[in-house]
Structure 1
Amino acid sequence: MCNTCIASIVYCIVQTINYIFLIFVPSETSDVACQWRGYFGYMSISAATYSYLIQAISRLFFSKFSTKYPWLITFKTHYYLILTHWIVVLIIPLSSVITKDIYFRPGLLCWVPLKIKNGSKRAEMILNTVNDKRDLEVFRNIVILLSIYITGGIPTLIFLLFTIEISYLAGIVTFTLAVTVEKICTILLDRELRQVVWNIIFSRNRVTPFENTITLTRHRVNFRRS
């Protein structure tokens, strides 16, 4: 989980920097710099995504192989897992800087561009307007999530700087609490995800198990016969 938190923080920082360049530093038009921003953008996404795979592998080791292969649950094994994870996510997006697929485009993030055939200028203008609104919304969400992670790590930072014992104890709580709050905010900030969760929690259609319905019907029939 700690590796996932670090990967999430890296993702938030990288995407925040990318949006700062997009919104506040439009004068930076270098294709090389844009390629590197695209590289770190794809790298941060891969890091956050594959960190959940590392979590799944770790839990598999603890639940299935801890008795037969106790060395799989040691810190050394997990250090190798984390090291492999970061090596892989650093290699995956290398094509962003090796090829020329990413180049500077005014008002757009440094991603591999989507090629639209037979598109009109009006459709392109509408698409750019929608992208601008979406970029601002995503930037706001990333800043909120990054602030949550930074706040959760403040007690640990205080402990590392001043060696205050109560800060260490508070850091254990706030770090886990920050992850929980981040997940809740992710649901609240995503309109579609929020709607799905709302429908699940407040669903009025109660599902009756099929087997229980058959059993109840049989009891009623037997009661009438008797």
Structure 2
Amino acid sequence: MNETTTIFTGYSFHLPIESWFIPVGIFTLLCLLLSTFFSIACFLQILFDKTCHTIPMLLVGNSYFIAILFGIDQIYTRCFTLFNDHQRIQYHDLLCNFRGYFGYATCSIQNSSYLLQAVYRYVTIVYPTRFVLQSIRFQLFLITLTWLIGLLYPIGFLFTNEIVYNIDNQICQLPLKLSFSIIYMANGAYIIPVLLTIFVYFKLILYVKIMGKRVTSVNTLLRAQRELKMVRRIVILVSILFILCFPYAMFIFLSFFITIPKYHLRISYVFIDVSFIAVVIVLFQFTEPLKMSVMRKVRTHNIVPILSIQN
């Protein structure tokens, strides 16, 4: 019923591997590299363009920054797996458990960053006069809080040695089985922030509908509808995560009752890595100020060479 996991502290050669390990490993690594470089470019654009120095863009920048850290952790993990597959060895290095912990932590912070964006939009509509809740100090406080929760909630896994080296999947993770740790991890990293984001969206829908029935100024109603549209886009992001991370969630659920496939983590992480690149691109597409900032920069670089040629 429980999956078999073993900790190794040395090399074991001549490990049989499947023919699809290397191609799939290269594909997922490329997805992660593209996602991380794209996130770095977007974060730097937000950081250095003064027109992007607003509270909504601060929250978007937070999402991209944690995406960078998540991407780096996953790139390191995929390189480790790919190297072991290529060399046909089993090897549990000193940082393997930490990579597993950091993956859980950054996943939680990333999902919470989308929740913060939804909450900010909700506050600006429902409590437009409560400027303290909309202030940069309060938003920085919330960002710091989500980071602390994200970094602390899985730290116990390191001290209890629950993150172990899975030989078949060449990765350090919690073993998928019916246990408090798996349920705790799934709720902290995924279920709670995602459900709260969806809850905020539906609360906002109800509020805007009530506004439409009341005697409300046109400008106020249009502004509320515009903010609702932004929250809807955030929910679309979360939906992409939900759909493409479904195999991992399904294997967690099935592990409570049956023996799951030996290479469940390899299969799951293909979908997770594809969802990562989809989310960072869609976030850019949905963030109009960032798109406009990039377009201005592109136009500037295109105009300067033309003027030089004419002169």
TM range (shorter): 0.5 to 0.7
Measure, in 1, the Cα distance between the counterparts of 2:291 and 2:267: 38
| Amino acid aligned to 1:114 | L
Q: Which amino acid aligns with 2:67?
A: S
Structure 2: distance between partners of 1:99 and 1:16:
25
Q: TM-score, normalised by structure 2?
A: 0.40
TM-score by length of 1: 0.53
The aligned amino acid for 1:141 is V
Verify the 8 A CA contact 2:168 2:263 in the aligned structure 1: no
List structure 1 runs of 4+ shifted beyond 3 angstroms: 25-28, 115-119, 129-135, 142-149
> Shift of residue 60 of structure 1?
2.3
The reply on whether 1:104 has 2:165 as its aligned counterpart is yes
Read off the aligned partner of 1:104 and give its amino acid letter: Y
Query: How far apart are 1:40 and its partner, in Å?
Result: 0.4
> Cα distance, 1:3 vs. partner?
1.6
Q: What pairs with 1:155-194 in structure 2 (closer than 5 Å)?
A: 172-173=293-294
- Answer yes or no: is 1:46 the counterpart of 2:179: no
Q: Deviations over 1:8-41 (max 9, x none)?
A: 33222222221221222455413x5222111101
Tell me what 1:29 maps to: 92
Q: Is the 8 A contact 1:39 1:97 kept in 2?
A: yes
Instruction: Kindly indicate whether the alpha-carbon contact (under 8 Å) linking 2:64 and 2:280 is maintained by their aligned counterparts in 1.
Output: no
Q: State the AA in 1 paired with 2:123.
A: F
SS of 2:167's equivalent in the other structure is coil
Alpha-carbon distance in 2 for matches of 1:142, 1:6: 17
* Cα distance, 1:22–1:139 mapped onto 2, change above 3 Å: farther
Question: Do structure 1's residue 16 and structure 2's residue 75 form an aligned pair?
Answer: yes
Distance in 2, matches of 1:91 and 1:130, equals 27
Shift of residue 134, structure 1, vs aligned partner: 4.6
Whether 1:141 aligns to 2:203 is no
Unaligned runs of 5+ in 1: 153-168, 175-226
Change in CA separation of 1:37 and 1:64 when aligned onto 2, cut-off 3 Å: same
Q: Which runs of 5+ in 2 are unaligned?
A: 1-59, 178-254, 285-289, 296-311
Q: Which amino acid aligns with 1:18?
A: T
CA displacement 1:64-88 (0-9 Å, x = unmatched): 2231x21221211111111111111
Determine which structure has more spread, i.e. the larger CA radius of gyration: 1
Q: 1:13·1:146 contact (CA, 8 Å) conserved in 2? A: no
| Partners of 1:81 and 1:143 in 2: CA distance | 23
Q: Secondary structure at the match of 1:101?
A: coil
- Residue identity (%): 25
* AA in 1 matched with 2:144: L
Q: 1:61 and 2:123 equivalent?
A: yes
Amino acid paired to 2:92:
T
SS in 2 for 1:128: coil
The one-letter code of the counterpart of 1:77 is F
User: Residue 177 of structure 1 corresponds to which residue in structure 2?
Assistant: none
> Partners in 2 of 1:118 and 1:3 — Cα distance?
38
* Cα distance in structure 1, aligned partners of 2:277 and 2:127: 39
- Equivalent pairs counted in the alignment come to 148
